[in-house]
Every structure is written in C-alpha cells, then in structure tokens.
Amino acid sequence: MEDLDTRVLRTACAWRAAGEALVLVTVARTWGSSPRPPGSLMAINGRGETVGSVSGGCIEDDLIDRIREGGIEAACAARKPALQRYGISADEAHRFGLPCGGTMELVLEPVGEHSRLEELLAACAQRRSVERTLDLATGRVTLADGRRDGVPTLNAQRLTTCFGPHFRIIVIGAGDLSRFLCEIALGLGFEVMVCDPRIERHAAWSLPGVDISREMPDDLILRVRPDARTAVVALTHDPKLDDLALIDALQSDAFYVGAIGSRRNTAARRERLGTHFGLSATELDALHGPAGLYIGSKTPAEIALSIMAEVVAVKNGVPVPAQARVDTGKPQAEPTPADRMSSACSVPGP
C-alpha cells in the first residue's frame, strides 16, 4: 500500500495520461490548528473526482465547486496556479470545520507536462530527495536534489515543497508476528521487506505488497544500506540471524533498529554486541530492545501493534521512554510485549 501523497501523484499521472484535465492542490501554509499539515496533497479532475485530502471535510466540496465553476479545462490551458485561503473568519472556520479557528492557505495548480509529476515519482521510487519549485506566475516546475523533509515555503513568486523516499521497514524473520507487523506497516504507507533464509518459512508465508528475500539478513542490510527513512526490526529470536543484521543496521543511517526478546535475552544480546563485536555504547543505545511500547500485548497482532507504535513514535520524533534493564537491581517494570512473546514460545539461550 502506498502512502497517501504518492497515491495522489500516481493517480494524477494516470488521469493526465488518460487526457483528463486536473488540478493539484497543496497545503502551503497553516496557522493555528489545521486538519492536514503543510505539504499535504489532493488532486481533482474535471468530473469532480478526488484523491487525497486537505481537510477531510467541507473544504474539498468547496474546492470542487470552485474548480467546476471556473472551468477546469480553461484553468489547465492557462497553466497559472492560484492561491486560496480558508478560515480567515470565525464563521468561515466553522463552516469548513477548521478546529479552533485555524487557517490554511492552498495552492491550486493546473497539471500538465510542465508539472513534471512523472519525473518526481521516478525520483522518489529511486529513494532520492527532491525539492520541487513551482513558479506561481507561469506554472512551470523545476526539480532539484534537496532535503528529505521540510515544510513548504511560499512567497509571491514560488512554492517550494520537499519530497523524499517512502518510509521503509525491513523485517528479519517470516512468521505470524512478522505477518501482522507487515500488514500494519503496509496500512501506514511503509514499503515493506521481509528477510528470512530459512526455506521452510517461505512455503506458507506470502503477503501482497511485501518484498521477500532469502538472503542472509546481514547480506541484505549491506546490500540495501538503510537510509534515514528505513527501520529494521529483528523478530527471529535466533542470534545467528539477528545479531549480524543488527550490527550492520546500527552502523547505518536507519532511524529505528529494534529486536524482540525478553529482558534477559536483550541484556545478553547487548553484551554480545558490545564485548564480542565491538559496538560502542552509543550504537548499543540506539537499539530498541525489547522492541515495542508497553500496551499490555498478549497476542502476536497486539505485539505487532506495539512495535509499530514505537516505530511511528520514533519516526515522528516523539521521545520513547527507556526500557527497564534486568541487571540494574531495580524493581521490574511492567512486562514488555517481548517478555510476553518470549513466555509463549521457545527462545534460544544466549
């Protein structure tokens, strides 16, 4: 499953290839509370069909009416983008469902060959970071290498937006837990890769939209070279598969590296990685183990949810409380999802 903005761009390209007139709408700026953040996209075609959203409410209906009244074909022929602001007055904010009197400024861009959406999609598929600059006077677009993330900038002459690679998760191990985790990750718009060299695990494991590899996990990590939009989660419980992959992942740019296991096995893993493989204290501190936030998980599906909740929290810059360590001599905290998982299955010793 694609993330929403990629779906908007891909649908816009398909509509244009079919000869349909359409407008791309970008949330350029917001003030106060707003339903969608700057950079959010929506496309509208001549039949009033939409993909994506800028508010999830009445603004979409108003935009469709405005575009129909103005004539979408004429707008696309003129190629000149337009600015539209919503929520300036309390009455308008109430009408359009903007919370707390929030205000948003939108850029309505007639789409054509000059929009370069196909090139933008191709760059994102190649995991390149791109700055897209729209000339508000002519509608022409320039693309350049840029930041992965960034708030759009708008002035009287141009709108600049940032596009980066999709967020991606690499899952080590093909099992019930990884299946649930992959399903959640797909729903969140992640690209998903599963790696498991154990042939017997592949016979009954498949999931549409997931790339499956039979490589050794450390070979996959070295080949893929995780970037700052990649998470790595080890779920096999087998040090022969998990440890070498974790070493390489912790020395990469991955924004999240986690491994399931009990606190005892997590402490043993940290000892192995530090003493025998020479990882620094800083690298070991980057390891999320046991992986997952405590939500009282009891089933593989709930454990998968707890792990993805932690991945999303880290992705969004939300501080994650440090897990209690078993060797501190302090009272134990609530059992983690990994503890519960370990009690329900056979876990190899360190």
**Tens digit of pLDDT for each residue in 261-280?**
888 888 888 888 988 888 88
**Which of 45-59, 115-129, 215-229, 334-348 comes out lowest in average pLDDT?**
334-348
The reported pLDDT for the residue numbered 328 is: 25
Question: Which of 181, 226, 221, 223 lies closest to 205 in space, CA to CA?
Answer: 181
The verdict on residue 275 lying in a domain is yes
Mean pLDDT of the 82-97 span:
70
Q: Cβ of 99: how many Cβ atoms within 10 Å? A: 11
The verdict on residue 307 lying in a domain is yes
The reported pLDDT for the residue numbered 349 is: 34
Task: Looking at the structure, tell me whether residues 248 and 117 fall in a common domain.
Answer: no
Task: Looking at the structure, tell me whether residues 132 and 227 fall in a common domain.
Answer: no
The reported pLDDT for the residue numbered 23 is: 93
**Which of 30-44, 67-81, 247-261, 336-350 comes out lowest in average pLDDT?**
336-350
Direct distance between the N- and C-terminal alpha carbons of the chain, in angstroms, rounded to an integer: 37
Task: Looking at the structure, tell me whether residues 263 and 320 fall in a common domain.
Answer: yes
97: containing domain:
4-163
Confidence of residue 306 (pLDDT cuts 50, 70, 90): very high
Which long-range CB contacts under 8 A does 135-143 form with residues at least 24 apart?
136/80, 136/81, 136/83, 136/107, 137/80, 138/79, 138/80, 139/79, 139/80, 139/81, 139/109, 139/110, 139/112, 139/114, 139/115, 140/114, 141/114, 141/115, 141/116, 143/116, 143/119
The reported pLDDT for the residue numbered 79 is: 76
DSSP annotation of 113:
G
Predicted TM-score of the model (pTM): 0.73
Confidence of residue 199 (pLDDT cuts 50, 70, 90): confident
The residue that leads in pLDDT, 87 or 324, is 87
pLDDT digits (tens, 9 = 90+) for 33-74: 666 788 889 999 988 899 998 876 678 888 888 877 766 666
Sign of CA dihedral 53, 28, 160, 112: positive
Task: Looking at the structure, tell me whether residues 180 and 135 fall in a common domain.
Answer: no
Q: List beta partners, residue 234.
A: 172, 259
How many domains, the chain? 2
Task: Looking at the structure, tell me whether residues 208 and 224 fall in a common domain.
Answer: yes
Residue 311 belongs to domain with CATH number: 3.40.50.720
Q: Please tell me the distance from the alpha carbon of residue 165 to that of residue 310, in angstroms, as a whole number.
A: 20
The reported pLDDT for the residue numbered 57 is: 66
Q: Please tell me the distance from the alpha carbon of residue 216 to that of residue 223, in angstroms, as a whole number.
A: 11
Task: Looking at the structure, tell me whether residues 28 and 177 fall in a common domain.
Answer: no
